[in-house]
Structures are given as structure tokens and as C-alpha cells.
Structure 1
Amino acid sequence: MAPQQPMNILILGGGIAGLTTALALTKYAPANLVPKITIFEVRPEPATMGGAVNLTPNALRLLHHLGALQEIRARDYGKECLAVQVFELYSGQQLAESSFAGPEGKGLGSPPFTGLRITRGDSLKGVLAAIEKHPNITLTCGKKTVDIHEDDEGVRLTFADGSTAHGDVLVGCDGIHSVTRLKHVEPSRTSTYSGICNAFGFAPRRTLPDNSSQLEPVHFHTSGMNFGRRGILLTSFHDRAEESVYVGALMPMPNIASRDGWKAAGADADAVRQEMRSRYEGAKHEVISHFIDDAEDLFLWPVFTLSKGGKWATQRTMLIGDSAHAMPPQGESTGIVFEDGVLFARCLTRWVERRAAGETDEPVKEAFDVFEGLRRARIDAAFEESKAVVSSVQETGWLGHRIKMNIVPWYLWWSRKGREAHFIEDVTTSELGY
């Protein structure tokens, strides 16, 4: 590739990671070197299945930089979240909260952002709307990759329909079961099922028995984590209307029907609902049992993980997000993915600028190495923090539960500065060092 020519970038994965990475590669490119980006998605259309995620201040800041938050807000998606409240299930008492409000109640960081609880589907729609404004980005669905070949000239993808695509670099944003990783970067690094699933659904709020126009009150403002002896039940609004509540819980499930998420049906759905009732019975707030009973559909999403570390890149291929470092879900998971894409885009753009200026004759792997050097420590720390998620589904006795409930407020107080440091972090301004 001649240094003065725009790059031809291939991205595998049309989910939130691939789309935001494409936006970042476009935004940070020099005006005369905006890359041609083609995103290939194996599904016939981008998947909108999923629960309600909490976009933390750092995640919202990056979406704002990429022009996607503006699209989300223009469509009135999501519900502002000033704090995630923590409740003891059986007493109903609020023990603590993880706040995004900041010292003045306007958010954290510069510019300040709070949090946003939003369905995965709505967040994806907002990002897709931003993608449509960039003619250099093409999203092609229904493309199953069967072969990846890399040489000094670039990367060639071969698809099941016999067609091919060639690019200067390949970015693997295709998730935990990444074809990019399994067919090319590190085939031996396979995912491991954690033994737990996220069971979730959306429940319409009931009206009061004596007032058909007034909705049943809830005990949380936007999002509440309800700690019981057998795990944590998340209850949350996900849009401004507050007429529907997302209810989700991680539960042990030794046998799974699919490595991908699926909608429970018939006896399967009844069993899941009954298990959720059993795990969270005895709740002080009756509305919790109503949410479980009234969830119109129940979905199961198995939690797979990768081993810590691993190989992220070859000479012309880079893994981003879950394809590189999938871990149990934790409060900052989505923000970490956005940070990956933006920081990688900045590293690659800097390499392009240096090549164009004659400052380096190093291959593109130089940019990949800089990205990894900046990112590994943050990912390793998040990986360690996520380990507690799997153990949270194990049943504890009453004494153990009481001890845990005494510890939680102190832990959230002790760890607040560390969390807020992450929330104010802005990888668009961090030093690249080259």
C-alpha cells in the first residue's frame, strides 16, 4: 500500500464493537486519508437481541465523540441513570449506591456525563444511524467467513457463498466465538462456558388494583441491584416512559441449548421462571415477584469467557473487544469495548500520519503493538475484577449473606475513587507515546 493512499479496512462483526470501531477509524482519520471500511456480519441483519445495559459516563463520552449518542438521544432511547442502587432483598433496605452524578449532580468527567440504561437493541439502532452518515463505511450482512489468508500484500477473506474480499488490514470484532481468532489469530484459544446464564426479560408495570391509571410503585429510581442469598436480581427501567422493567439474573445452568442466546419457550420458559421465583422468593418488595411473573418473554444468554492474556494480533489482523478478551459481565463491559475501538483507531491513524510524513517505514504491526502496550494493563485489571461475578450466583447461608451485606457498602465506598477514575477517563486524549 502506498503511504499516501487511504487504507482499505475489513471488519468482521456487525455488532456494537464493529460498528463503533468503524466510526472511530473514520473520525480520527486525516481528512485526505479517510479509509474505506467494509463490515461483514454473519447474520442476515444486525442482532438486536439482548437485555438492558448500563452505559457508564466513559461509554457515553465516547459515543458522543463518535456522533452516536446524538442519534440515541434524538430518538429518545434509554433512561438516564444517576446511580445504581443496591438493596438487600429480604428487608428491602437500600444499602448503598454506585453514583454517576458527580459532585454537582451533572455527571462525571469533562464534559460531564451520567449513566444511561438502554436496551442493546436501541443502542445498536443509534449506532447504525450514525454509521449511515458515513459513505466510506459499508455494512454487508449474511456473510459467513470460511477462510482468512494473510500475506505481505494484505488480508483476503473467503465467504461461504464463494465471494472474497481483500483489505490492507482486518479487525476482528466478532465476539467471544470469533472466527477471526479461531481461524487465524489464535485457533487454540477457545472459549469456556462459565456454567452460568443471564436469564432476563421485560415486564410491563402493573397498575394499582384500585386505580387503573396509576402504575405500581417501585423501590428504585432507575436501576436497582437486589442482593439475595442466591444471587443478584437486577431490576431497571430502560426508557423514559418507565412503563416496562428489565429484570435479569445470572443463574447456574450446567447444560445449555446453544452457545448463543435464545428465547426460552414452553416448558423451558416455565422452568426458568420458576427458578427465578425460587432464587428470589421472600423479597420485601412484592413488585419483584410481579416482575418475574409478568416478564412477557424470557431469554437466556450463556456466559462464555476467554483465558486471561492471549494473542491479540498478527502482522495485519487485530482483535478488538470480546474476540480478544471476553470476561464475565461487569458494570463497565460496554465502555471497555468502546475504549478498545477508539484507542485502536487513534493508534492506527497515528501510524498512517507518520507513514505519510515519512517519519516511519515500519509495517502496520507497529500500530498494533502500541495499542496493546497501552491497553493490556487495563484489560487485565478488568479481568480480575470480573471474577467475582461468577461466584455471586452461589448460594450463601444466612450468616454469610449478612456478612456480605455489611461488607458491600464499605466496598463500594472504598472502591469509589477507582470507579470514578475509570468513568472520567477519556481515551480520545490519552498520550499514545509515538
Structure 2
Amino acid sequence: MPIKHIIIIGGGIAGVASALALIRLNKISCSVFEIRSEPTTIGGAINLTPNALRYLDYLRVLPRLLRKGCEVYHIDVISQRTGANLGRIDFDKVEKFKHRALRILRADLLEALLEELEESGVKVQYSKRIESVLERDDGVEATFDDGTTVVGDMLLGCDGIHSSVRMNFVQPERKPVYTGIAVTYGFLSAGGLSELLPFDSTAAIFGRFGTFLMSFYTVDKSQLYISVVTETKDVGSREGCLVKGSDQDALKDDILRRFAGSAMPCLETGMQKVDSWVLYPVFKLPPHGVWHSGRLLLLGDAAHAMPPQGESVGLVLEDVVFFSRLVSHHKGKAVSRIFQGYDSLRRARIDAVYKEATFRWETARDRGWLMTVIMEWMMWIFIRLMAGTKERDFQFDVRDIELPN
């Protein structure tokens, strides 16, 4: 039977993008449900790679973003110890990639997606906690804690790493694992600091006690985003939180200690200017998990959350655009066949990216002085060796994958 209606659990980037992709390609009706009471997204300013921008252009969202974000030609990787440039991640190949990269607030991306979805005639329904799922021969029925129900041909779990759909209905034993690393981030005005910055738009500064990222995130380069990735004990929370009071002072002192004595004065100056820090403990899912069961399918972080490595949103958008293609390609086919096709064609790429992300994430851990020097040389070599691979990654597009009959 043809797919007519899809239930989507999760009103964040993955869920809203899924609805847009399905509506665009298949003219399928979607109902989107979010557990929170209003649009909310955790995280600071994200880097949208050329892949991500192509998908957002396809979803008709990109024009809204270009008015707000900062275009990124490349990311400079710099040694905190010496100030030397260790390499560059290059996005400035528009003839191949169609776009460069874009640094933008995660909240601005979600807002743009929601605006486009509402113009398509769909509104996210908030304060909806899913309680039960009943699978039938002709569809699936979801019941929420307020007693309401909805029926669809399939249900997509797009509700993030702490997914209720995964933990209750797909693979309950697969739980998020704390990586031992946290991201601390904040925002500041670039006024009086821009002339000190040794980069055009974004720099990742590699140090002995973590990695320090600094980037413009507005189109006029008036605002800066600072993100510090450090080895951190489990803080007992699975969500990001604004650190307050004496804890704010202690956190700031710890960051200043970790990056003291830098060859770049802009680091300490920038850190001192941040008024409020947000601490975000990073979790990941064990690899090779189950992505679907019956008429339920997981997409995005609900299926394969991994340490963030600058391409996470791009992977989510790949998921949803590729899945919408499969739904269109297999019109009238069984839901199980669509899910199996998605799993078999998507799994290898996710496994490869997961492995790379985990490797890169380990470079943020504390290390001795000698190991830091060795890692700087390894980083210099690694970036050069990986240049061709990254170029192929930025050209990769799930819309070019040939689908089997």
C-alpha cells in the first residue's frame, strides 16, 4: 500500500528536516511531535559543510540562513604552543562543492527550518510525550501522555541521542555512553579583538589540555563563538546547562589554566570577554546498533550519535534526504523493504564517519608536553594526507546514489 502519512517524533533539526524532505519529494503528509513545550535546541554555533548547504538549498531553507551566518572559506588548525599553522581544512572550491561552509547559530537553523515547514502547511505539536506504540497490519498508532493518539503508515524517531523511541520501542538496551569529554562554549562581541585574530573566519587551536575553537558566526563578523573541548569528569547531567554563580568562575578559571601561556594573546583576551559559559557533556551511542523495528525507524542522532566533528548536521540531513528518496523510489512497497534498503545502503558510510569522529575526538584529551609536540607533527601530516578524502566527502551527495529496484 502507498505511504500516505508519517508520524515524526522529535521537533528538532532532524524531525523538521525529515518532514520537509518527505513533503518536498513525495507530497506525503506528516505529523511532527516534540516533547518540549517550545522550539529548543542545545548547542552553540555550528559549521554547516558544503554537503549540508546543498541539502538545505534543496529543502529551500538556505536563503534564510545566508542572511545570518558567516561564510567559512577554511578552518585554520593552529598550535597553541607555538602559534604555527598546522594545516587547513579547505571549503573554498565552489566549482566542486557548489557552496563553501557556513557558521551559524544552531537556533537560527532550527528557526529557518520551522518557518519553511509552517509555510508548507505543517506545524510542530509541542508538549507531546510518546507513551506507547501499537503496530497494526495497516499502520502504527502512537499514544501520547495527554491521551491523544495518531495513526500513520510508519513512525520516525528523530528525537536525538536520548531518544524515547529508541529506548522504549526499538533497542532499549542501547544507551548513550559519556565520552569523558565536554564542550564548553560562549559568545562575545568581536569589537576590539578582530585585529588580534590570526584567521579569517574560523580557527581550531590545538593544545596540551584540549582544543579551542574560535569563529565568527554572523554575516557582518561582529560576533564570535568560542568553544573549548576538554577532558572532563562526568558532571552528572546528560544535557547542556548554563553554569551559574561560583561554578561559572571555577569553570572560567579552569579554561584559562588550560590555555595559559599561549603563543596567541587573543585566546586569553577572548576567554576573559565571555560573560556566560555553557557546559555540554558529550555522549555517544555504541556503534552498530539497530535502526528499525517493525514500522519504526530511527534517523539522525537517535540512530547513530557520535562525537561532534563539524559534520554532524550534514549527516542528519543526509539521512533525511536519502530516506525521502527511498520512500519515493519504493512507492507502494512494504515498509520493511524501505527500511531494509535504507539500512543496507546507509550503514557503511555511517560506520566510516563514526570511526573517524571517534579517532579525532581522542585528540582533545589531556597529554604531556612531549606527546603534544608529537601530536602536532602527526596533525600536520594527517591534515595533508586527508585533504583528498575530505574533498571527496564534501562532494558526496546522497542524491547521486543509484537505488536498486
Q: 1:420 is matched with which residue: 369, 391, 400?
A: 391
Q: 1:349 is matched with which residue: 324, 328, 345?
A: 328
**Alpha-carbon offset, residue 401 of structure 1:** 1.2
Matched, 1:25 2:18: no
Give the alignment's Cα RMSD to 1 decimal. 1.5
d(CA) in 1 for partners of 2:145 and 2:69?
Answer: 37
Contact 1:81 1:116 in 2 (8 A): yes
More helix by share: 2
Matched, 1:405 2:376: yes
Amino acid at match of 1:45: E
**For residue 107 of structure 2, what is the aligned residue in structure 1?**
121
Matched, 1:391 2:327: no
Give the number of equivalent residue pairs.
Answer: 405
d(CA) in 2 for partners of 1:164 and 1:274?
Answer: 50
d(CA) in 1 for partners of 2:357 and 2:316?
Answer: 15
Matched, 1:381 2:352: yes
Q: 2:50 is matched with which residue: 41, 54, 57?
A: 57
**Alpha-carbon offset, residue 216 of structure 1:** 4.4
Q: 1:192 is matched with which residue: 177, 196, 202?
A: 177
- SS of residue matched to 2:239: coil
d(CA) in 1 for partners of 2:356 and 2:5?
Answer: 37
d(CA) in 1 for partners of 2:234 and 2:369?
Answer: 28
**For residue 232 of structure 2, what is the aligned residue in structure 1?**
253
Could you list the per-position Cα deviations for residues 209-254 of structure 1 after superposition, in whole angstroms to 9, with x for gaps in the alignment?
xxxxxx5431111110011111110000001222221111122232
**Alpha-carbon offset, residue 256 of structure 1:** 1.8
With over 3 angstroms needed to count, the CA separation of the structure-2 counterparts of 1:108 and 1:231, relative to structure 1, is farther
Q: Quick one: percent identity of the two aligned structures?
A: 36
Could you list the per-position Cα deviations for residues 328-378 of structure 1 after superposition, in whole angstroms to 9, with x for gaps in the alignment?
1112211111000000111111112xx2xxxxxx52110111111110000
**For residue 79 of structure 1, what is the aligned residue in structure 2?**
70
Q: 1:265 is matched with which residue: 244, 251, 268?
A: 244
Q: 1:150 is matched with which residue: 128, 135, 141?
A: 135
d(CA) in 2 for partners of 1:255 and 1:329?
Answer: 18
Amino acid at match of 2:256: R
d(CA) in 2 for partners of 1:227 and 1:188?
Answer: 36
Contact 1:57 1:108 in 2 (8 A): no
**For residue 6 of structure 2, what is the aligned residue in structure 1?**
9
TM-score (structure 1 length as normaliser): 0.90
Matched, 1:204 2:197: no
Unaligned runs of 5+ in 1: 209-214, 356-361
d(CA) in 2 for partners of 1:114 and 1:393?
Answer: 26
Matched, 1:170 2:163: no
Amino acid at match of 1:426: D
d(CA) in 1 for partners of 2:380 and 2:96?
Answer: 21
1:163-312 matched pairs, under 5 angstroms: 163-207=148-192, 216-312=195-291
d(CA) in 2 for partners of 1:252 and 1:387?
Answer: 14
Could you list the per-position Cα deviations for residues 147-196 of structure 1 after superposition, in whole angstroms to 9, with x for gaps in the alignment?
22222232222111121111110011000000110110111111111122
d(CA) in 2 for partners of 1:148 and 1:293?
Answer: 50
Amino acid at match of 1:202: F
Amino acid at match of 2:329: R
Bigger drift between 192-201 and 394-403 goes to 394-403
Contact 2:212 2:227 in 1 (8 A): yes
Contact 2:5 2:28 in 1 (8 A): yes
d(CA) in 2 for partners of 1:149 and 1:266?
Answer: 47
**For residue 212 of structure 1, what is the aligned residue in structure 2?**
none
**Alpha-carbon offset, residue 107 of structure 1:** 5.4
Q: 1:134 is matched with which residue: 120, 127, 142?
A: 120
Bigger drift between 77-86 and 269-278 goes to 269-278
Unaligned runs of 5+ in 2: none
d(CA) in 2 for partners of 1:270 and 1:236?
Answer: 23
Amino acid at match of 2:214: T
**For residue 79 of structure 2, what is the aligned residue in structure 1?**
88
Amino acid at match of 2:349: R
d(CA) in 2 for partners of 1:285 and 1:244?
Answer: 19
Contact 2:211 2:230 in 1 (8 A): no
Q: 2:30 is matched with which residue: 24, 28, 37?
A: 37
d(CA) in 1 for partners of 2:251 and 2:52?
Answer: 32
Contact 2:143 2:149 in 1 (8 A): yes
Contact 2:12 2:39 in 1 (8 A): yes
Q: 1:70 is matched with which residue: 63, 66, 69?
A: 63
**Alpha-carbon offset, residue 257 of structure 1:** 4.3
Amino acid at match of 1:217: L
**For residue 108 of structure 1, what is the aligned residue in structure 2?**
96
Contact 1:147 1:157 in 2 (8 A): yes
With over 3 angstroms needed to count, the CA separation of the structure-2 counterparts of 1:396 and 1:252, relative to structure 1, is closer
Could you list the per-position Cα deviations for residues 392-430 of structure 1 after superposition, in whole angstroms to 9, with x for gaps in the alignment?
232222221111112212211111111111111111222
d(CA) in 2 for partners of 1:255 and 1:186?
Answer: 24
Contact 2:188 2:223 in 1 (8 A): yes
**For residue 359 of structure 1, what is the aligned residue in structure 2?**
none
Contact 2:181 2:365 in 1 (8 A): no
Amino acid at match of 1:79: C
